[in-house]
C-alpha cells in the first residue's frame, strides 16, 4: 500500500478541520484514509467493457421501472385555524415556541 496521505498532509487536514487528536488517533485515522484510497485505486484498476453503463447499485434500473408522476392538483387552503387550534400557545395567528438560548461564539 502506498501512502498518499503523509503525516504532513494529514496534520494540515486535522488543523483545517480544527480536530484535536492524540498521536494514536491521528495514526489510526491516517491509516484508515490511506486504506480507503487504496481500495478506490483497486476498483479503478478493474477493467470494464466499454459499453457497461454506470450504476449506482447492483440492480439495473431503467425508465420502464419508474413510477408514473402524478398530476399536480391545486386545492384551496384552509385558514389555518385547525393547525393553530392544535398548538399549545398562539399569539396573533402565530405559533409561539420557546426561545432558544444563544451564546456568543468566541
* 3-state SS assignment for residue 95: strand
The reply to whether 67 falls in a domain is no
What's the total number of domains in the chain? 1
The reply to whether 11 falls in a domain is yes
Q: Do residues 35 and 1 touch, judged by C-beta distance below 8 A?
A: yes
The reply to whether 39 falls in a domain is yes
The reply to whether 12 falls in a domain is yes
The reply to whether 70 falls in a domain is no
CB atoms within 10 A of CB 30: 20
Residuewise pLDDT in 10s, the chain (106 residues): 567 899 999 999 999 999 999 999 999 999 999 999 999 999 888 888 888 777 777 777 777 878 888 999 888 877 788 889 999 999 998 999 988 888 887 7
- Residues 66, 68: Cα–Cα separation, whole Å: 6
39 lies in which domain range?
7-44
- Residues 27, 10: Cα–Cα separation, whole Å: 9
The reply to whether 31 falls in a domain is yes
The reply to whether 78 falls in a domain is no
The reply to whether 81 falls in a domain is no
Encode burial over 71-83: b for 16+ CB neighbours within 10 A, e otherwise: eeeeeeeeeeeee
Q: Which of 39, 38, 16, 11 is nearest to 27 (CA)?
A: 11
Amino acid at each position: 500500500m502506498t501512502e498518499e496521505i503523509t503525516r504532513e498532509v494529514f496534520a494540515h487536514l486535522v488543523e483545517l478541520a480544527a480536530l484535536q487528536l492524540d498521536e494514536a488517533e491521528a495514526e489510526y485515522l491516517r491509516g484508515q484514509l490511506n486504506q480507503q484510497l487504496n481500495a478506490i485505486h483497486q476498483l479503478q484498476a478493474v477493467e470494464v467493457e466499454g459499453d457497461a453503463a454506470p450504476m449506482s447499485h447492483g440492480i439495473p434500473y431503467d425508465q420502464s421501472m419508474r413510477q408514473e408522476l402524478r398530476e399536480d392538483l391545486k386545492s384551496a387552503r384552509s385558514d389555518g385555524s385547525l393547525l393553530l387550534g392544535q398548538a399549545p400557545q398562539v399569539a396573533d395567528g402565530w405559533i409561539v415556541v420557546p426561545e432558544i438560548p444563544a451564546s456568543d461564539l468566541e
